[in-house]
Amino acid sequence: GNIQVGLFVGSLRKESFNKKIANYLISIAPKGYEYQLIEIGQLPFYNEDLEGDKLPAVYKEFRATIEALDAFIFVTPEYNRSVPAVLKNAIDVASRPYGKAKWNKKPAAVISSSIGAIGGFGANHHLRQSLVFVDVPTMAQPEAYIGHVAKLFDEQGKLINEDTAKFLEDYLAAFSTWVERFVKK
């Protein structure tokens, strides 16, 4: 079957540039892969008191979703030089209960973007810090820090920058090579 890749976007807003990048990636998913956007905005803040009888259905569903995926792509903005809380929360939710983390050993990539020049570098690397702990082997190269993201899309949300399109295509080719080191299907 196809290799199942979940895409996580660290922004909830409708017109999110990061969501536009994720949707573009989905539109160019390599052959043999199924890319899908995974919702994270429905998850209540992680609270260990909810484990057990009171476990929210959305936690259960989310953990099952993560378990069924083979690989992950995180596409995130930077909030105050770090990872948006909603994305950190999603990682936390599927990292518990202790010993039953769903992220384990599945390959990933991190793409950050920003309306500014630095391209979300701080968020990109803070996210990698958490991914080390949940044992997610994250592609080192190529790195993806997409700056001035607002200039890359038209009013309809279409990617209009050819260099970025080529970069993302090459990025996914490298990611497939990375994934196939871990996933045999």
Residue 79 lies near ligand FNR (rule: CB under 6 A): yes
With respect to ligand FNR, which residue has the nearer C-beta, 81 or 185? Answer: 81
With respect to ligand FNR, which residue has the nearer C-beta, 91 or 146? Answer: 146
The residue type found at 185 is: K
First vs last C-alpha separation in the chain? 7
Task: With both helix axes pointing from N to C terminus, report the angle between 17-27 and 162-179 in degrees, rounded to the nearest 10.
Answer: 60
Residue 13 lies near ligand FNR (rule: CB under 6 A): yes
Residue 151 lies near ligand FNR (rule: CB under 6 A): no
CA distance 61 to 93: 11
Residue 81 lies near ligand FNR (rule: CB under 6 A): yes
- Shortest Å, Cβ 172 to ligand FNR: 19
Q: How many residues bind to ligand FNR according to rule CB under 6 A?
A: 15
Q: Binding residue for ligand FNR (CB under 6 A) from 7, 43, 69, 78?
A: 78
Question: How is residue 11 written in tokens?
Answer: 């922004």
Please tell me what DSSP assigns to residue 48: G
CA distances for 134 relative to 11, 30, 173, angstroms: 21, 26, 25
Measure CA 24 to chain center: 13
With respect to ligand FNR, which residue has the nearer C-beta, 44 or 116? Answer: 116
Q: Binding residue for ligand FNR (CB under 6 A) from 4, 11, 95, 176?
A: 11
Residue 114 lies near ligand FNR (rule: CB under 6 A): yes
Q: Of the listed pieces 37-45, 59-67, 77-85, 136-144, which binds ligand FNR according to CB under 6 A? A: 77-85
Cβ within 8 Å of residue 96, ≥6 positions away: 46, 48, 51
Question: Which stretches of the chain bind ligand FNR, using CB under 6 A?
Answer: 11, 13, 16-18, 77-81, 114-116, 118, 120
